[in-house]
Amino acid sequence: MKKHILITGGAGFIGSHVVRRFILKYPQYQVINLDKLTYAGNLENLKDIESSDNYHFVKGDIGDAELVRDIFDRYSIRYVIHLAAESHVDRSITDPLAFIKANVLGTVNLLNTALDKWGPSFNGLFYHISTDEVYGSIKAPGLFTEDTSYDPKSPYSASKASSDHFVRAYHNTYKFPVVISNCSNNYGPFQFPEKLVPLCINNIKNQLPIPVYGQGENVRDWLFVEDHAAAIDLIFHKGVVGETYNIGGNNQWKNLDLVKLICRVMDKKLRRSNSDKLVKFVTDRPGHDARYAIDAGKIYRELGWQPSVDLEQGMEKTIDWYLNNEDWLNHVTSGEYQQYYRGQYQS
């Protein structure tokens, strides 16, 4: 069946993997990628598929009501996969208003446009991708489920929690067709190196200090981005309207242990030793959540999804990609991107 799908934020890290998967796997679909091309959006991420007949790119802001309406009309949009968002916690602390504009107002603009354009039959789907950070922090051995109460602790997670609530409100108020997924920390190819994994890889490669917040005791559940894209594909096609699905990698690691794993793999590949000596403990982030841990049982039971790799396997793939794509990494850590590359990270 032919579908016209608007994917927002499709030039970003997760979005580019989703766009690529849909372009290659579903040639009968028309995929429209709307991306503002901020520092974290990079068309180099999609070089391999940019000339595909079923791919269309539009540069623009999801908060631009006139542009979004035009895209819905021009491409007969009936499906939305919404990934566009400001996503870095540190930046949300210094500029929370930017996160409200993008993550809350931008999402509501998309909802309003779809609500108006799809008419009373609502023959379509609005799929909203969110984060586990909306749940706040959880003590071991607890896990976030789809029924966990929201308890966001940063301006970033508060903005995502707000957008989640608006999506659900449109479903409850207007019977608007939505699904939501909340994912754990992603890693893999094409990730901008303000995030922990690519920052470590780049700093080890260049023998620079590796900044670790506090004592590195914060725990995160790590999800390989290609596994996440596969889960999004499955939820888009088989998810139940009105439902929420948690997506996690079943890989709970302390930040310091993760950094040491990256050091070991990098030392092996670069034929070095003692890269862990580059670790530098830095002042902890304000309000830093201690632990995130996803229970992905629902998506496994109901849709049959589970991660294809554990963290060690996924990290091997990730490090190989960065070492084999030095031009990409050098580009995003220099020149026009330099103002955004601070040597810090989100985790």
Annotated catalytic residues are 132-133, 156
Question: Nearest 5°: phi and psi at 30?
Answer: -105, 120
What is the distance between the alpha carbons of residues 82 and 61, in angstroms, rounded to a whole number?
13
Question: Whose CA is closest to 205, among 256, 262, 258, 280?
Answer: 262
For 59, 140, 143, 189, 319, the CA distances from 101, given in Å and listed in that order, are 17, 34, 31, 28, 34
What is the largest distance, in Å, between two alpha-carbon atoms of the chain?
63
Tokens of 140: 């071991």
What angle, rounded to 10 degrees, do the helices at 106-118 and 155-174 form? 20
Q: Is the peptide bond before 141 cis (omega within 30 degrees of 0)?
A: yes
Give the bridge partners for 34, in sequence order.
8, 58
- Provide DSSP, 320-331: HHHHH-HHHHHH
Single-letter residue type at 224: F
- Provide DSSP, 36-49: ---TT--GGGGTTT
Cβ burial, residue 261 (10 Å; 0-12/13-18/19+): middle
**Chain mean position to CA 114:** 22
